[in-house]
Structure 1
Amino acid sequence: MTQHDIHVIGGGLAGSEAAWQLAKAGLRVKLSEMRGGGDTTPAHQTDGFAELVCSNSFRSDDAERNAVGLLHAEMRDLGSLVMTAADAHQLPAGSALAVDRDRFSDQVTRTLAEHPNITIVRERVDTLPTDTPAIVATGPLTAPSLAEAIGQSTGADALAFFDAIAPIVHADSIDMSVAWKQSRWDKAGPAGDGKDYINCPLDRDQYAAFHAELIAGEKAAFKEWEHVPYFEGCMPIEVMAERGVETLRYGPMKGVGLDDPRTGRWPYACVQLRQDNASGTLWNMVGFQTKLKHGEQLRIFRTIPGLEGAEFARLGGLHRNTFIRSPDLLDGELRLKARPNLRFAGQITGCEGYVESTAIGLIAARFAIAELTGQRLAAPPVETALGALLSHITGADGAEDYQPMNVNFGLFPPIEGRTKKADRKLMYTSRARAAFREWTAGLEMVAA
């Protein structure tokens, strides 16, 4: 096949899913993957498509109470190749979906290779296609030459190579009988009222114990290939702590200008959380990017007054991760605004996780199919897992401080009224399934 309708760049989970969806719709696909063509990445071990390099778990498969499980269900309903292969090679893991990594990748690779509409080319792509429709799904380890080309097309400051992320907490898990809302010195931002932060106070003894735990906590080591430097503007919280016992009190944990309503005084130290989404369901721990292992983060951060019962939408981290500032650069159909023949999909858009990457590859392909066949695809409703994730990427909450994110209920429109946490999760999933059914019914009508 010398001609193709669309070019998919990258054979990870997003690219593999996109190629399958496109080919299944009757489009001729060129699928480029540099592994197997003389190039590789420091993290991959094989040249198989959809290789899982970090974990064999797709996380929870509970579609009733877990956002990623709900996303699994939606992807299955949309005929996902990746979910089909995952289900075929599932391993015992309780409510989680774990897979035999080698057999999973082998099935995806074989399925793509055998499809008559897909031509696989083992090549490194160094430049972005200029006229041909394309989906760029090159992942967090995009080859430097292509990353440079992306930077030239998007603006150098729109491409991140360094990912320093702080934990994000579900608002309804914060104990507001201890914490309170106030901006430092009651200073209001452009859209604020002087109550733009949630404040968690620590007294002298609590601070000393917290500082000691940060120093002693077990840290994750950088992988040899990451070579991530520490920058002063995003120093890990535990590295700051190592500089001296008072460093945090004069940095991200300073209590000045904050009046604890229980005492009327400034706290000895204070952890501040900043609203992270428009609906106010997620709050970011300011200055708390960290290399603490996830279990240690849960243990140590729950010693902070007000966060004893904290539920985390995302834990902190610090690693190399190439992604674009999608809310600024992409339209609602994942097209690059400056070059609409290009769509981006997978982790390079700023979603986090295998499942999320696959889902964005799937919906990018569905948008491309509609465009190339003279139709228009309505975006999945934001009440669905797929729609909530897409909305996060394409800018529902703006591009400021945009960081990679796993799907979680904090990205969904909030459930109104006071309900128990367990009931609220069921309400999210029930509402999502109804919205998803209505959306897919519309797809069937368009197809007919």
Structure 2
Amino acid sequence: MSEGTRKALRAIDEPIDIKVYFSKKLGEAAPSYAKSFERVRTLLEQYRNVARGKLRVAFLDPEPFSDAEDTAVAAGLKGIRLNQEGEMGYFGIVGTNSTDTESSLPFLAVDRERFAALVTDRLAAHPRVRVVREEVRAIPDEPCVIASGPLTADDLAADIARLAGQQHLYFYDAIAPIVEADSIDMTIAFRQSRYDRGGEETAGGDYLNCPFNQAEYEVFVDALINAERIELREFEREDAKFFEGCLPIEIMAKRGKEALAFGPMRPIGLRDPRTGKRPYAVAQLRQDNLAGTLYNIVGFQTNLKWSEQRRVLRLIPGLANAEFVRYGMMHRNTFINAPILLAPTMQFRARADLFFAGQITGVEGYVGNAATGWLAGVNAARLLCGEAPLTLPPTTMIGALCHYITHAEPGEFQPMKANFGILPPLEDAPRSRRDRSKAYSTRALRDLENVCASLVPTR
């Protein structure tokens, strides 16, 4: 250890808590990670000794579905798949100081530039792939797959808008967080529409309401306006329309303490059944899928860091133990209104030889983008060979994701990533989260094997 490092450690004046996450199963699957972890452990133990009590180090094994895994994910650590069942392993460091600010060192985070270069190099070197390095300015007349991503160039975007209809092509995301229904405390939250205007099919109303008293509201607003935000990229900061169409809730809150209570959190027309009175403010949740397992927090589009969203949104009465399947976000993102325009095969409904894939379909995440690209490519090949396109069962994650983006409510459609909440409910679902996840995986593998067994090989 250098003398400079020793001086820096001795100069720490506020306690720093370091949490090192390392999955034992990851070390068993890949011994090189175990060796790296031991080096990190040795180094941090040396640091702890030199820091004279100001550096506190904890070593955690984030087993699947444990509290340790939840905190690792909330801090931004990225997992690596360990097996077919979808279990993830983690290796990373999270540091928190006495001011409760947090940062992470995600050892397994994807380096996007290197990852993109790797994919490009693999494609360029493939003997059956010809790479044409030219800008595509219009949709080709022949069969093709469009996977132009979230920053589709203007000319191609204009041609997609011509084909799809300008009203069905979007350029910005303002996404509200989504929580699992069974993590909402219904002893606090209550179902009711304003002035009891819910229909017969939604007994009690269309919304779940989380009521605030004045003290709870003030604590929430203070936490919201002081939380850390994600930095906007330069082209987002320069685009005035970005702010007009995607005003985050934390910016609304900064305009005045009562701005939210008179805006998206207004309690007018509602009565808290616990008190019989109108709440001081209310956060409303709207059902997000047909199965009723997911709810989005209405009007809560936000640009807070994910770990901050988890902390601040759990201050909402009734959401103290909320499990988030999607955090709020705002960014430039070109995507089509897939529920109107696409079939679950990734085919454009008005033109069967045209396929879309990736983020332009409203899918988020590396896995979802790769999966829709795979399905669109397979179906394009099957079409050219005169075979019927493939639709995967909605009990599989790929099938569920494609079903979700093509069957969501068109007027409320926003991008979605793969998560258990979009899968059809299980019959006799196990009570524990771990057992439910295994049951989902077992059902998906069974149904996928049945589909594979029924397929005629493509020539």
| TM superposition score normalised by structure 2 | 0.75
Q: Which moved more, 1:109-118 or 1:144-153?
A: 109-118
Equivalent position of 2:177 in the other structure: 167
Note closer, same or farther for the CA distance 1:299–1:116 as it changes in structure 2 (3 Å cut): same
Once the two structures are TM-superposed, the CA of residue 225 in structure 1 deviates from its matched residue by 2.2
Once the two structures are TM-superposed, the CA of residue 209 in structure 1 deviates from its matched residue by 0.5
Equivalent position of 1:61 in the other structure: 81
1:249 corresponds to 2:269: no
* Contact map agreement 2:199 2:205 (CA 8 A) in 1: no
Amino acid at match of 1:326: A
Amino acid at match of 2:128: N
* Matched position secondary structure for 2:283: strand
1:331 corresponds to 2:343: yes
Q: Which moved more, 1:152-161 or 1:417-426?
A: 417-426
Q: Structure 2: how far apart are the matches of 1:340 and 1:262?
A: 55
Once the two structures are TM-superposed, the CA of residue 341 in structure 1 deviates from its matched residue by 2.4
1:382 corresponds to 2:394: yes
1:180 corresponds to 2:200: no
Q: How does 1:268-347 map to 2 (within 5 A)?
A: 268-347=280-359
Q: Structure 1: how far apart are the matches of 2:196 and 2:302?
A: 28
1:148 corresponds to 2:168: no
- If asked which structure has higher relative contact order (CA below 8 Å, sep 6+), I would say 1
- Largest Rg, 1 or 2: 2
* Contact map agreement 1:234 1:287 (CA 8 A) in 2: no
* Matched position secondary structure for 2:218: helix
Note closer, same or farther for the CA distance 1:322–1:388 as it changes in structure 2 (3 Å cut): same
Once the two structures are TM-superposed, the CA of residue 331 in structure 1 deviates from its matched residue by 2.0
Amino acid at match of 1:220: I
Once the two structures are TM-superposed, the CA of residue 251 in structure 1 deviates from its matched residue by 1.1
* Contact map agreement 1:169 1:311 (CA 8 A) in 2: yes
Aligned identity (percent) is 46
**What do the CA deviations read for 1:374-411 (whole angstroms, capped 9, x no partner)?**
1114311100011011111222x332211111100111
Once the two structures are TM-superposed, the CA of residue 61 in structure 1 deviates from its matched residue by 1.7
| TM superposition score normalised by structure 1 | 0.76
Amino acid at match of 2:447: A
* Matched position secondary structure for 1:400: helix
Q: How does 1:15-26 map to 2 (within 5 A)?
A: none
**What 5-or-longer segments of structure 2 have no aligned partner?**
1-75, 94-105
Amino acid at match of 2:353: N
Equivalent position of 1:373 in the other structure: 385
Q: Structure 2: how far apart are the matches of 1:98 and 1:91?
A: 10
Once the two structures are TM-superposed, the CA of residue 189 in structure 1 deviates from its matched residue by 4.5
Amino acid at match of 1:398: E
* Matched position secondary structure for 2:208: strand
Amino acid at match of 1:275: Q
* Contact map agreement 2:339 2:409 (CA 8 A) in 1: yes
* Matched position secondary structure for 1:201: strand
Note closer, same or farther for the CA distance 1:354–1:57 as it changes in structure 2 (3 Å cut): farther
* Contact map agreement 2:79 2:90 (CA 8 A) in 1: no
Q: How does 1:37-186 map to 2 (within 5 A)?
A: 59-61=79-81, 98=109, 104-130=115-141, 132-186=142-196
**What do the CA deviations read for 1:194-250 (whole angstroms, capped 9, x no partner)?**
421111111110000001111111111210122453555642111111111111111
